Chains A and B, each alone.
Chain A
Amino acid sequence: MTTATAEFNTQTTSDVPDELLPHKAGRKLWLPMLIMAIVGFGVGIVLGFVRADAVNSGDAETVAVLGQLVPGFMFIGFASVFAAIAFAVARILGVFREGGAGMQKMTGSEVRTLEMPATGRAFMVLMVIAMMTIVVAVVLHFIVGGAIAADNASAIDNAETWSIALEGARRFGVSLYLMSIALGLATIITVLRFQSLRVRELVASK
């Protein structure tokens, strides 16, 4: 028999299915990531003001070192806050999954839950790539900053090249993060559509 939800890939169980790992991670990690973001932004803005003072006083070495550290800390903030958003979206998806399954069980019906849609998988993959892109750029900023502080001639000569290249990587990482969040939110639409069809199925089966 064709059902209203036949177009969706689902799994059928007699009980509420176990929480998926991404949903568990979302539930546990959104707040620590948010706290890390606030710390990153806080350190970044303080160092920004220190760097402005060094620019004004003509302290070229401090300017060059902080020129690497300020974006490094700021983008620890951005990587963390985007991760917090992604985890919060994953948590919402988890609430839908558990809540929808719980409701079906309460009505005495079989429990049908949506298999992870393609957008959900792409959301996670892109999020990991975005996070890695920004984290690698941040680590390289710190390495270059450390080398400049240690008077490494090559690092001093190539500081501008590194700054431009890493800025490009950071920017692209942020764009990937935004796309992954768009995919996560798109998955919520799919889940909502499935659930609105499923609830009518439940009524029809009564």
Chain B
Amino acid sequence: MTVALDRITQPAADADHSVDFGHRKLGLGIGAVGLLIAAVVAVLAIVAAVQVGDAGQEDTIGRILAVAFGLNTVALATLKVGISVILIGILVRLWIRVQGIKTALPLLKAPIQGDAVIVGTVDTPYGTCEVSEKEPAVLPIHKIAKTLWAPMLGMGYMLVVIGFVVSLVWAGNVGSDPELAAGASAWTQGVQFLGEAMVLAGISFLLGSILRGLRQGGGDVQESIGVPVQTLQMPTTAKAFIGLMMAGMVLAIVQFVGYIITTGFDTAVDVATWFAWLGPLRELSLGLLLAGIVLALATIGNVLGFQFWRIRGIVTTGS
């Protein structure tokens, strides 16, 4: 399983660098499907809004909104799967970039000037970095990211689809069996937002895998050409990224448990009271995961800046 996933994200060393691997088109295609579903949901919302106030249409509106809720989450998850495919494409391209730079740098770099390798730490415009003779060891968080991105994405999307099926049960019982409809509503919201959070966690782990690729690839390039291996220490943004991702997942689980608890309530007021805070809570969980993703992207930008700075240094000074 792990080997198969490695093949998806890391091409063979002799892979043809000039080939377009198709991740971009596939990812955008999946995204377009998600956007089409979202357009259908927008139409459903307009249809429901127009019918508000029409006598006898309450059940119809309730059914439309139930389906729209389930379908909207499917649309968002589909778009995120498209983004994940594109991130895999970036990961593949980064490894090809490593091979390219490994081939090119020995020919482009200046003859070595100055002293031999001094192991320790040095300050750079991009933060403190470790200097070593060998490629640095893989960090535990990077191993976790490599192992978990696919299961998170797969299970997350599955939960979203299961939630959509439950939303159809919800829609089918509006008016005829209010108790069952309320229960199905709680299950739909809880399950789908847990699934959304897992899909976002999958994306976070893919970004973590990109950071692993940059760290490992940067070390590999430097070691292969015999220059001191400089590796950035984990920046604060990366640490905060992990913290936000964990907080987001914890809240996603809390909201899921909260929705399940509401299915045991006897009165509609109790259910409505819990729904009133569970709604914002589930959105906060996604918000924290997205905030973590922002910090992961910021870290990637910083690491790339460092790598270009390092390459320029090697080309200029040879070490």
Contacts and interface: CB of A to CB of B under 8 A. Distances in A.
Interface of A: 4, 30-31, 33-34, 37-38, 41, 44-45, 47-49, 51-56, 58, 63, 70, 74, 77-78, 81-82, 84-85, 88-89, 91-92, 95-96, 98-100, 102-103, 106-107, 119, 157-158, 160-161, 164-165, 167-169, 171-172, 174-176, 178-179, 181-183, 185-186, 188-190, 192-193, 195-197, 199-200, 202-203, 206
B65 A182 contact: no
B97 A45 contact: no
B277 to A, nearest CB: 4
Give the 10 A-B residue pairs with the shortest CB-CB distance, closest first.
A168-B45, A99-B308, A48-B280, A175-B38, A88-B297, A192-B93, A52-B276, A178-B79, A52-B277, A165-B49
B17 A195 contact: no
Given A41-B284, A45-B284, A189 B89 contact: yes
A95 B306 CA distance: 10
19 contacts: A34-B294, A41-B284, A41-B288, A48-B276, A55-B276, A70-B280, A74-B283, A95-B305, A102-B308, A103-B308, A160-B52, A161-B52, A164-B48, A171-B75, A175-B34, A183-B28, A189-B90, A192-B97, A196-B96
Given A49-B277, A52-B276, A91-B298, 10 more contacts: A51-B276, A77-B283, A88-B298, A106-B312, A164-B49, A178-B34, A182-B83, A186-B86, A192-B96, A200-B104
Q: Is the interface of B mostly helix, strand, loop or mixed?
A: helix
B41 A168 contact: yes
Nearest to A187: B24
A196 B312 contact: no
Contacts of A199: 97, 100-101, 104
B287 A37 contact: yes
B48 A200 contact: no
A193 to B, nearest CB: 6
Interface in B274-295: 274, 276-277, 279-281, 283-284, 287-288, 290-291, 293-295
A160 to B, nearest CB: 5
Contacts of B290: 37, 78, 81-82, 85
Q: Is the interface of A mostly helix, strand, loop or mixed?
A: helix
How many interface residues does chain B have, given as a range?
A: 35 or more
B76 interface: yes
Contacts of B291: 34, 37-38, 81, 84
Contact of A182 (B79, B272, B305): B79
Given A172-B39, A175-B38, A178-B76, A203 B312 contact: no
B27 interface: yes
Contacts of A78: 283, 287, 290
